[in-house]
Chain A
Amino acid sequence: MTHLSKSPWILHYDASSCNGCDIEVLACLTPLYDVERFGIINTGNPKHADMLVITGGINEQNRAVVKNLFDQMPDPKVVVAVGICACTGGVFRECYNIAGGVDCIIPVDVYVPGCAARPESIIDGIVRALSVLEEKKAKLVKPERAGSGGER
């Protein structure tokens, strides 16, 4: 385990959520759950963030915004889709303005279902995302090493 999984900084974005999941995400920061125990901080800046937590499905208005936020985050990064709307589009899936879940534009690493997702399951999803973050870091380092080692 590296420092990476000891201080995951989160960027929370409300795509088209009804605010139910957002309130549950913020509930994780309150004294009852206090995710800062694990070094988790809710930043407002994609350039400081390690994890993109998205609630709500993708619609035509936020398609570009979500893509932009994801592109601005430095590697290694993971995406957590919180709530059933972010996972698949939920009950809004068939709406004319909804493109679907978050995975229709950016790769999602962890899906947290629920309507609304409970704080316990959100924390569980973030903890699972930590191991994905470590995997991605390992993959980032490997090609460099192989190059410098001169193995061909």
Chain B
Amino acid sequence: MIMVEYALLFIVLAPFVGGLVAGVDRKLTARMQGRVGPPLLQPFYDVGKLFQKEQIVVTPSQHFYILSYLVFIVASGALFFAGGDLLLVIFAFTLAHIFLVLGAYSSYSPYSFIGAERELIQIIAYEPMIILAAVGMYMVTKSFFVWEIMASSLPLILYLPGVFLGFLMVLTIKLRKSPFDLSTSHHAHQEIVKGVTTEFSGPMLARVEIAHWYENVFLLGFIYLFFAWNPVYGIIAIIVAYLLEILIDNTFSRGTWKFTLKSAWIIAGMMGLVNLGVLYYLSGVVPV
């Protein structure tokens, strides 16, 4: 059953949760580097400041693309939390990022262009694995609807360990963490000026940031689906996965785009495919 109230809760609460998660991220990152780090609410201060700044418009179409990016990220997340069709969620999610790429391409800046190209490579890299995750959930629960996957009493993680590990790998790309933060990095360490966000300033950059918070909450919700049979394990899995991502972010240097593509397709993709193959062969043996 589609639950609209959860979608509304997501739309209202996700920016606060996403911003807090970003604050914890920055604090932990600083501690790992032996620094004190910014206040917990620093991401909110940053976005508040960006809304007070002058907006330099390079091309008017930027407005449309960035607003579409935000709207489609929110729509895909809302659809996910409402219990909608997982495939539709993934397509809306991909479309949102295409808008970000178009926004970066709309200005004639070489830095923005390289960022957009790299963002496209990242989409190419993570997309198959996210589809595989949805297919794996379908194979176990016989449904693409999030609410049916949530209602399933089967422990998905035991059926889909390879898919889960593969998903964690592409999650590193999605959360813009090293070694896969090619197109832009949310840390101060610079990547070809600022990659895909180079030409966005002031309120426009704030919208990109807020969209990223929504996106992170949606992705953490996706982790929860693997553990939906037991909410306690689900929460623990989200926390452990995010801490792991912060650790990876601080231990690895940035890789090349080829390394990203190979990691996402050959390693993560193979883990997912082998997992699905085994599941197919055992379909007569295990209760699916």
Contacts and interface: CB of A to CB of B under 8 A. Distances in A.
A135 to B, nearest CB: 14
B46 A39 contact: yes
B118 interface: no
B45 interface: yes
A44 B193 CA distance: 5
Contact of A45 (B46, B55, B193): B193
Given A45-B194, A47-B56, A48-B201, A39 B39 contact: yes
Nearest to A29: B188
Interface string A52-71: 00000000000000000000
B202 A74 contact: yes
B35 A31 contact: yes
Interface majority SS on B: helix, strand, loop or mixed? loop
B234 interface: no
Given A7-B45, A7-B46, A47-B200, A39 B52 contact: no
B284 interface: no
A50 B118 CA distance: 27
B122 interface: no
Contacts of B56: 47, 72, 74
Chain A interface extent, by class:
20 to 34
B45 A76 contact: no
Interface string A22-59: 00000001010010111101111101101000000000
A123 to B, nearest CB: 14
Interface in B22-42: 26, 30, 33-39, 42
Nearest to B43: A7
A7 B205 CA distance: 14
5 contacts: A2-B52, A4-B49, A31-B33, A34-B36, A39-B45
Interface of A: 2-4, 6-7, 29, 31, 34, 36-39, 41-45, 47-48, 50, 72, 74-76, 137, 140
Interface of B: 26, 30, 33-39, 42, 44-46, 48-49, 52-56, 188, 190, 193-194, 197-202, 205
